[in-house]
Amino acid sequence: MPMARKRPQTLRGWAINVLLEAGAIQECEQHGWAQDRADPHARERAIDIARHDPPNGITADEAVMEVREILASTGDICPECPGD
């Protein structure tokens, strides 16, 4: 699913922002799909952020789980880009 330009204030939107800021995912410039950058250090940074600074009303475990779920569901290529 393409990433929304303006994410709603949801746990999923928060987790996508954390992953983007940590450099664990990037957005396809043409189509908006999230792409896994396969950077283990960036993934760890995102998980650390989730663990130590979860959104209000969300436990650290819930925040980490959401970050991991998004990583697990994100491919490393854009399905709409030809030749990737």
58-75 per-residue burial string, b: 16 or more CB within 10 A, e: under 16: beeeebbebbeebbeebe
Residue 77 in domain:
no
Residue 5 in domain:
no
* Mean pLDDT score across all residues of the chain: 89
Residue 82 in domain:
no
Q: Does the structure show a pLDDT above 60 at 81?
A: yes
Residue 17 in domain:
yes
What pLDDT, on a 0 to 100 scale, did the predictor assign at position 3? 54
Residue 79 in domain:
no
Instruction: Please enumerate in sequence order all residues whose Cβ is within 8 A of that of 34, keeping only pairs 6 or more positions apart, or say none.
Output: 2, 3, 16, 19, 25, 26, 27, 28, 70, 74
Range of the domain at 18: 11-72
Q: Considering its fold, how many domains does the chain have in total?
A: 1
Residue 19 in domain:
yes
What pLDDT, on a 0 to 100 scale, did the predictor assign at position 32? 87
Q: What is the pLDDT of residues 23-36, one digit of tens each?
A: 999 998 888 889 99
Confidence grade of residue 59 (pLDDT, cut at 50, 70, 90):
very high
Residue 78 in domain:
no
Q: Does the structure show a pLDDT above 60 at 7?
A: no
Please give the model's pTM, rounded to 2 decimal places. Answer: 0.83
Residue 81 and residue 30 in contact, taking contact as beta carbons nearer than 8 Å:
yes
Residue 46 in domain:
yes
